[in-house]
Structure 1
Amino acid sequence: MTTHAQLDDRYGRTRSPRRRLVGWSIVAVLALGAIGFLAWTTVSNSLNAVTATDTGFTVDDDRSVSATFQITAPVGQPVACAIEARDEEHGTVGWRVVQYPASEDHTRAFTERIPTLSLATTGFVNACWVP
């Protein structure tokens, strides 16, 4: 009578140590490749990232508000920012896109005037990007 182990050996149901080593090597190479790809995409995305920080606003009159903000952008790249004014019901009453030329400064501060349709209660940066 044949045993279970003999049948496994006869029909190749067991893995040799060499085959097991090759399998784990393939898994390790794929894992290292995935980690390398994720690291590369993280670094490349952060190189062109632009961040904006609101530092204040001033309601000039019924038809305008001034927003003060600071941007951090890549050196030598032009930047565009969308600035927005809202009323007390959180409705948009003014909107403007401003573009800034390339600069050697990593961080810059700006104050921009936003024309509005009615009295605004706030002014802020909606988004900034490298065009």
Structure 2
Amino acid sequence: MTTQDMLDERYGRRRSPARAWLIGAGIVVAVGVVGLFGWFTVRGSLNSVDSDTTSFEVVDEHSVMLGFQISNPPGAAVACAIEAQDEEHGVVGWRIVELPASDLHARAFREAIPTTALATTGFVNSCWVLPG
């Protein structure tokens, strides 16, 4: 009899095979949850679109020319919401631009934004992959 067995007998502790199975099952479930979380994270980032505003030019009080670049999954069509604001950060113009699918990962564009008043800035609000 080992020392551990003598201590277990003295203090009434028993080693149960059911407890070992329960601990093993808990570890398997925890590994599964971590793996599932990792897969959802990777899957979400595969269809993400990154955008950066590279330039803007106030043409007149009725339009702004916006330069921007996007990084998206190759072969996916993308839509971007572009926006122009005045000096008080009020939206004075916006539009949705649909960009065709391409084999390139990164592309640059210049688009005009019609405005209702004089704008002081233009930027890309958000971009997303179009279904299909």
Deviation digits for residues 59-118 of structure 1 (CA, Å, limit 9, x no counterpart): 111111111111000100100000000000100000100101100000001111101001
Determine helix, strand or coil for the equivalent of 1:88.
coil
Q: What's the C-alpha RMSD, in Å, of the aligned pairs?
A: 1.7
1:32 Cα deviation (Å)?
0.5
Please name the residue that 1:26 is paired with: 25
Determine helix, strand or coil for the equivalent of 1:81.
strand
**Rounded Cα–Cα distance in structure 1 between residues aligned with 2:78 and 2:88:** 30
The runs of 5 or more residues in structure 2 that have no matched partner are: 1-7
The runs of 5 or more residues in structure 1 that have no matched partner are: none
- Equivalent AA in structure 2 for residue 27 of structure 1: G
Please name the residue that 1:112 is paired with: 111
Percent of aligned positions with the same letter in both sequences? 52
Matched, 1:44 2:37: no
Q: 1:70 and 1:15, CA in 2 relative to 1: closer, same or farther beyond 3 A?
A: farther
Please name the residue that 2:127 is paired with: 128
List structure 1 runs of 4+ shifted beyond 2 angstroms. 14-17
1:19 Cα deviation (Å)?
2.3
Matched, 1:89 2:88: yes
> How many residues are matched?
122
